[in-house]
Amino acid sequence: MKKTYLLIVSLVLVISLILAINVSSSMLIPANENALENGKAPDHSPVITRTQSGQWDLERVDFIHYAKPTSSGKPGKTETCYKLMGVKWSNVPVNYVINPVNSQALSADFITSAIFNSAETWDSETSQELFSDSYSLDTSAKYGIQDFKNVLEFGDYGNNNVIAITSVWFTRKGKQIVEFDQLYNTRFQWGDAIVNPEKMDLQNIATHELGHAIGLDDIYSASCSSVTMYGYSTEGETSKRTLEQPDTIGLQKMY
């Protein structure tokens, strides 16, 4: 009886050791609900997704750009007025795809020009070419699909107070960005706010959103409201078309 008991214990220990070796050799980290709920991500919009196998392969963060503050901003403890996500692209320049289809009769030329100028605004403040000078147009490209295509699209987000959203996928290991997608909410009227101040200025918002695409977080401190990465905007605003010193400092710390 004693020998049988010892044999069973030995078998259990061997099986446990084999399982431990197999788990430790995996490159993927098993997902669990507690970890998903408490996973660290930039404030205001953390989202962590899993692969179909239930493993963490990539993490995703959604940055939601609001038209009005949900609460009054307060000065931060340190007034750097920029915040890094802690992830960045390892290989640049980054290619991107524009879907110009929209319900507001905006021309493809206007859309591509505004977005290209926004991308070049970031490129001009660093010695590296971050965004490729050549982009592609694809009327079938969709926001929110993890396919390693960096898509910018117009569509109805379903919230009257959300101007745009940028989703960023990155690796846990190496902290490298692998994709970004952007959706510009058609519940707002888009255009050139210099021509018509009642419009939401596309170049203004795209410059902010592309800051997320390269690794910058939102800033919500009231004393930093003039920077490009400030998390709120309004119709007629064009100040985010250009970068302020804190935006440039944050950019150059990464690239």
Residue 183's CATH number: 3.40.390.10
Asked whether residue 23 is domain-assigned, the answer is no
Q: Which amino acid makes up residue 15?
A: I
Query: What integer pLDDT is reported at residue 127 of this predicted model?
Result: 92
**Which 8-state DSSP code applies to residue 235?**
T
Asked whether residue 188 is domain-assigned, the answer is yes
**Does 49 have pLDDT greater than 90?**
no
**Does 107 have pLDDT greater than 50?**
yes
Q: Which of 215, 193, 201 is nearest to 164 (CA)?
A: 201
C-alpha dihedral, 185 to 68 to 70 to 103, nearest 10°: -10
Asked whether residue 22 is domain-assigned, the answer is no
Report the percentage of the chain scoring pLDDT > 90. Answer: 71
For residues 193 and 201, is the Cβ–Cβ distance under 8 A?
yes
Q: What beta strand segments (E) does 97-215 contain?
A: 97-98, 136-137, 151-155, 162-171, 177-185, 190-191, 200-201
Asked whether residue 102 is domain-assigned, the answer is yes
Asked whether residue 14 is domain-assigned, the answer is no
pLDDT digits (tens, 9 = 90+) for 217-248: 999 999 999 999 999 999 999 999 999 999 99
d(CA 81, CA 68): 19
Asked whether residue 176 is domain-assigned, the answer is yes
pLDDT digits (tens, 9 = 90+) for 113-131: 999 999 999 999 999 999 9
Q: Which amino acid makes up residue 61?
A: V
- Average pLDDT rounded to a whole number, residues 134-150: 96
Strand partners, 62: 167
Give the domain range for residue 224: 33-254
Q: Does pTM surpass 0.85?
A: no
Asked whether residue 244 is domain-assigned, the answer is yes
For residues 130 and 167, is the Cβ–Cβ distance under 8 A?
no
**Does 57 have pLDDT greater than 90?**
no
Asked whether residue 99 is domain-assigned, the answer is yes
C-alpha dihedral, 158 to 111 to 216 to 232, nearest 10°: -50
Q: How many domains does the chain have?
A: 1
Query: What integer pLDDT is reported at residue 52 of this predicted model?
Result: 53
Strand partners, 185: 155
Q: In degrees rounded to 5, what are phi and psi of residue 204?
A: -60, -50
